[in-house]
Structure 1
Amino acid sequence: MDRRKLALVLSVITILVVSSTSVIFFFGMTEDDTINFYVFSDSQGYQGGVEQIVTAANLNRPDFIFHCGDLTPFGQENQYQAIKTVLDRSIVPVYTTIGNHDLKDGGGTLYEEYFGISTYSFDLGPAHFTVFNTSTGDITSQEFAWLEHDLTQTEAEFRFVFTHFPPFDPRTGENHSLVNSTSSTQLISLFEEHEVDVVFTGHIHIYNETVVNGVKYVITGGAGASVYADEDNGGIYHYMNVTLNEDGLTIEPVILNTPSLPRDVVAVRGLIEDVTLSLDDLLLMDPVTGYSSFQNQYDNWRGHGTYTGIAISELVELVGGMTVNDTLVVRSFDGYAQEFSYSNVYPNATWAEIQGPMVLAYTYNETSVLDWADGMRLVMIPPDGEYSNIDAIQTSEFGDVISAGALWVRFVSLIEVISG
């Protein structure tokens, strides 16, 4: 039996779970060995949560804070600038890795410009910290080889791993983890073989702790983006406070204030005039209601439900309309934007059959924008209620389409006609 395995057999007494705080007790550490750090993920442009974490770090002085990816909504430079500005206020070291949202639209290059490499490792006291890149939803053979070498060469007593995608989805009937099941199996085996203590991930917007073959997996996807579940199932805005000392390893979620977004106002800018509309204004207009859903980039169907809102064509007419050469840009509060053509706004019979009307939805399944986590939202309502990735490609005049879901802009704040 090797030194580390023997040490763990002798030192690990028990694991306790008390009020969502997990504790692992060890012998052999002293007060001087104490390590404290914060872990969080998936802020996706909502800086309010990150600001709370930085404020707590500046007050409590952990050894470092770590963002597990999806720092931005869609990898645009203004989004990187915004999150970098907030993280730069931290007086303790900041570590990050890249998420799938950060990779979009060439964002991988910008990530490196603002935050450096996304695969690395470092030591602190008796602990080794390994960071690797799963932003594509998979891990390359080169990345896996590096990871295996890194975990093999370390002699640290404690081992922590950070990445964006979890190797499995702990929720029943969901699969929001690595897209390659073979990679997932290999990673789980690797972490077990090298006796990793904790693997921290994000991507799934919940808090969850699961132990698999002696390795604890912590999903901490609650730093700002809309959560995927109710509180009883981990749907909380939070960060993880991790402490390793002579009393053991403590992992505790710290609740953040729910992000506050002004989602009940939208500005519409035309070539002739502008107008700002509140939810009350929209409720006075003729509504469009219909059932719809979309495919995401992994070909999974999402967003099933009934939407109510105002046709984009009607909003555009309020500011003078648009011509066939003009472009419509729909922007989110977080800086994300998508472009649409005249044919999207005023679809002919063929496009109407594929796409249906473009609608600024303020209600989803009878939940209004003030309580709807994704609203206001741009939606397509085709006759069959399914806006697929193929449909999105067939009804786009602007090159590559990431997915149908990428066109469904959330938190719409601005609809603007750009002259052709």
Structure 2
Amino acid sequence: MYSHAYQSEEPDAQMRERKEFLAIAVSIIAATASMGTVYLIFSPRSASPPDVAVEGGYVLNQTPIHTTVRSMALSLQLQLSTKNGGPLGSHDVTVTNMDINRATLLCDAPFFIIDSSGSSKTIRINTQVSNANITMATSNVSLLKFYVLGDSQGYQGSVKDIVATANQDHPAMLFHCGDITPFGQQDQYQRFDDAVANLSVPLFLTAGNHDIRMGGGHRYISRYGPSTYSFDFSGAHFTIFNSSAGDVPESTLQWLQNDISSTTSEHKFVFTHIPPFDPRPGSNHTFLNTTAATRLIDLFETESVDVVFTGHIHMFNISVRNNVTYVISGGAGATLYEEPERGGIYHYVNVTVSDSQVKTETVLLSEPSFARDQVVIRGTDEDITLTVDDLMGLPAIEGFSSFQNQLDNWRGQGVYIGVKISDLLALVGGMMPENTLRVIANDGYSQDFCYGNVFPNESWYQLQGEMALAYSYNGTTVPDWSSGLRVIMLPPDGQYSNDDCLQTSAPGMGCQVYVSAGSRWVRYAQRIEVV
């Protein structure tokens, strides 16, 4: 009789598992009846989780009866062993992020497959010995193909399009160079996971600066494992490392040195979020620690890295420095930084390696299809939905403005037309001094503002000017203006600096939390509500 040793499951779950196992047993009996007597051994569940040793993967979750491992390579080795030397018994193992159609599964203990879908496979081991060894490996290919994308930042439309193409084209793998989310919240990560749930090939990730905000770094690890790792496949070495803080600690630099210098693979590819230099003249959207950036460039050149793939700068760019190719792919959904002729395109990169040649192809994506032409204004007791046409029918405010970002670079310079936030709130009952105004974007990003931002006194007015919802920028109106609807500040001098932001942010808000005046300029504004 099959029974559970682990008692913390609900009785219904136990019964379902018994029925599932017995159904499989019946099918085995039916299939092998002609071979004579069939013996079935039902192994009990262990009362405690087994020890796990894994190479090429990361243990995401473990209970006494189930271990889930995310593959961090195209070859994974896993050993389960009991702590007391007793029999391992019955234990389920789920391996995620593996091409289950191409990978070969080997296990030295009796097992059967419970589920196999997308890029995930679950098996149940039944053994009377104390350990089990599992290997999943994808065979090398003569034509190596992989996709690279970056900076989707919560927009899942492009992600879903890339997944659909990958499921048809079947590259060996995908790489996302970071900024998966707007600011690293669980629901934002979950929306990304939902978008890639049907992907049939492995997806290798690293964290971006947006992903680590507000505790997001811990959430990243709990879902995807470490953001610095490496592996080999089909004559190529792939190195992924975390640069999300605008710096690389000495320990990571040493790891990179050892990792890249020790490989014997013909090709070397590196993936990270922030590029070690900004290829645009006069721009500096790159590492905060310039010394670390210089050391990285020297390392890539010394070790003859083929291509360094990054994101962070929302555009496409390819440049070559001392025989090292640098590809910036930051166009998977976030607002673009440049005009199309200078690389401001929504895209991903298709990379092929054949006959010792590395080729990169830029694949265009559709522009994000956010519903940018309407906004909900919500008061404490009522709300109203306004279209762009409705907004254009209200008293307009117009002026030149710009903002400073976290790197002290100026962005958003231009003439804006919009409606004062105070006028919009008047439509739904206004705002009291004790209230907070929350602006929520279509991609989940949000910012809180105090009464003084909406109704600035003289000193605050000189720093931030009027707070407005803009529907037009430099003569382009939503939806053609891709960053609108957008909350803006219109200071008298046309420059909303980080220092201005600090002085006009209430405790726990704005630049008191994250020093970037640009973070207050919420794009894709969908809801403006008094809370």
* 1:102 alignment partner, SS class: coil
The answer for the alignment partner of 1:194 in structure 2 is 303
Are residues 1:341 and 2:455 paired?
no
In the alignment, which of 130, 144, 163 is matched to residue 54 of structure 1? 163
Distance 2:249 2:141 in 1: 38
In the alignment, which of 332, 335, 347 is matched to residue 226 of structure 1? 335
Bigger mean CA deviation after superposition, 141-150 or 225-234: 225-234
Are residues 1:122 and 2:225 paired?
no
* Deviation at residue 114 of structure 1 after TM alignment: 2.1
Per-residue Cα deviation, 1:43-71 (whole angstroms, up to 9, x for no partner): 11111111111001101111111100011
Q: Which has the higher contact order (CA 8 A, sep 6+)?
A: 1
Per-residue Cα deviation, 1:304-359 (whole angstroms, up to 9, x for no partner): 11111111011111111121111110010000000111111111222222221110
* Deviation at residue 32 of structure 1 after TM alignment: 4.2
In the alignment, which of 82, 86, 98 is matched to residue 207 of structure 2? 98
Q: 1:353 to 1:230 in 2, by over 3 A?
A: closer
* Deviation at residue 142 of structure 1 after TM alignment: 1.4
1:150-169 aligned within 5 A? 150-169=259-278
Are residues 1:244 and 2:349 paired?
no
* Deviation at residue 409 of structure 1 after TM alignment: 0.5
Q: Letter of the aligned partner of 2:513 in structure 1?
A: V
Are residues 1:413 and 2:530 paired?
no
Bigger mean CA deviation after superposition, 89-98 or 390-399: 390-399
Per-residue Cα deviation, 1:371-417 (whole angstroms, up to 9, x for no partner): 21211110111112111111111111132331111111111000011
Q: How many residues align?
A: 388
1:295-314 aligned within 5 A? 295-314=404-423
* Deviation at residue 168 of structure 1 after TM alignment: 1.2
Q: Letter of the aligned partner of 2:179 in structure 1?
A: D
In the alignment, which of 76, 87, 93 is matched to residue 185 of structure 2? 76
Q: Letter of the aligned partner of 1:415 in structure 2?
A: I
Distance 2:314 2:326 in 1: 14
Distance 2:141 2:471 in 1: 55
Which is higher, the Rg of structure 1 or of structure 2? 2
* 1:344 alignment partner, SS class: helix
* Deviation at residue 288 of structure 1 after TM alignment: 1.0
In the alignment, which of 393, 401, 411 is matched to residue 513 of structure 2? 401
The answer for the alignment partner of 1:291 in structure 2 is 400
Per-residue Cα deviation, 1:86-139 (whole angstroms, up to 9, x for no partner): 122211011100111112222111111222211000111211100011111121
Distance 1:389 1:233 in 2: 28
TM-score by length of 1: 0.90
Distance 1:336 1:249 in 2: 38
Bigger mean CA deviation after superposition, 372-381 or 241-250: 241-250
The answer for the alignment partner of 2:385 in structure 1 is 276
Distance 1:215 1:298 in 2: 26
In the alignment, which of 388, 392, 397 is matched to residue 501 of structure 2? 392
Instruction: Point out where structure 1 has 5 or more consecutive residues left out of the alignment.
Output: 1-30
Q: Are the aligned partners of 2:439 and 2:446 in contact in 1 as well (CA < 8 Å)?
A: yes
Distance 1:77 1:43 in 2: 16
Distance 2:219 2:153 in 1: 15
Distance 1:32 1:123 in 2: 12
Distance 2:455 2:345 in 1: 40
Over the matched positions of the two proteins, sequence identity in percent amounts to 53
Q: Are the aligned partners of 1:340 and 1:398 in contact in 2 as well (CA < 8 Å)?
A: no
Q: Letter of the aligned partner of 1:38 in structure 2?
A: Y
The answer for the alignment partner of 1:37 in structure 2 is 146
Distance 2:313 2:465 in 1: 31
The answer for the alignment partner of 2:101 in structure 1 is none
Per-residue Cα deviation, 1:259-295 (whole angstroms, up to 9, x for no partner): 2221110001111211000011111110111121111
* 2:183 alignment partner, SS class: coil
Q: Letter of the aligned partner of 1:343 in structure 2?
A: G
Distance 1:235 1:322 in 2: 39
Q: Are the aligned partners of 1:68 and 1:164 in contact in 2 as well (CA < 8 Å)?
A: yes
Bigger mean CA deviation after superposition, 156-165 or 104-113: 104-113
Distance 1:91 1:275 in 2: 43
Q: Are the aligned partners of 2:397 and 2:417 in contact in 1 as well (CA < 8 Å)?
A: yes
Q: Are the aligned partners of 2:171 and 2:201 in contact in 1 as well (CA < 8 Å)?
A: yes
Distance 1:247 1:200 in 2: 18
* Deviation at residue 364 of structure 1 after TM alignment: 1.1
Distance 2:363 2:459 in 1: 51
The answer for the alignment partner of 1:14 in structure 2 is none
* 1:370 alignment partner, SS class: coil
Q: Are the aligned partners of 1:309 and 1:359 in contact in 2 as well (CA < 8 Å)?
A: yes
Q: Are the aligned partners of 1:168 and 1:177 in contact in 2 as well (CA < 8 Å)?
A: yes
Are residues 1:207 and 2:207 paired?
no
Per-residue Cα deviation, 1:184-237 (whole angstroms, up to 9, x for no partner): 221111011111111111111111111111111111111111222222221211
* 1:33 alignment partner, SS class: coil
The answer for the alignment partner of 1:258 in structure 2 is 367
* 2:179 alignment partner, SS class: coil
What is the alpha-carbon root mean square deviation over aligned residues?
1.4
* Deviation at residue 178 of structure 1 after TM alignment: 1.7
Q: Are the aligned partners of 2:230 and 2:239 in contact in 1 as well (CA < 8 Å)?
A: yes
Q: Letter of the aligned partner of 1:348 in structure 2?
A: N
Distance 2:513 2:464 in 1: 14
Q: Are the aligned partners of 1:393 and 1:401 in contact in 2 as well (CA < 8 Å)?
A: no
The answer for the alignment partner of 2:481 in structure 1 is 372
Distance 1:251 1:404 in 2: 36
Bigger mean CA deviation after superposition, 226-235 or 148-157: 226-235
Instruction: Point out where structure 2 has 5 or more consecutive residues left out of the alignment.
Output: 1-139
* 2:231 alignment partner, SS class: strand
Distance 1:417 1:149 in 2: 54
Q: Are the aligned partners of 1:387 and 1:404 in contact in 2 as well (CA < 8 Å)?
A: yes
* Deviation at residue 247 of structure 1 after TM alignment: 6.7
Distance 2:473 2:507 in 1: 28
* 1:143 alignment partner, SS class: helix
The answer for the alignment partner of 2:117 in structure 1 is none
Distance 1:40 1:225 in 2: 12
Q: Letter of the aligned partner of 1:239 in structure 2?
A: Y
Bigger mean CA deviation after superposition, 311-320 or 245-254: 245-254
The answer for the alignment partner of 1:354 in structure 2 is 463
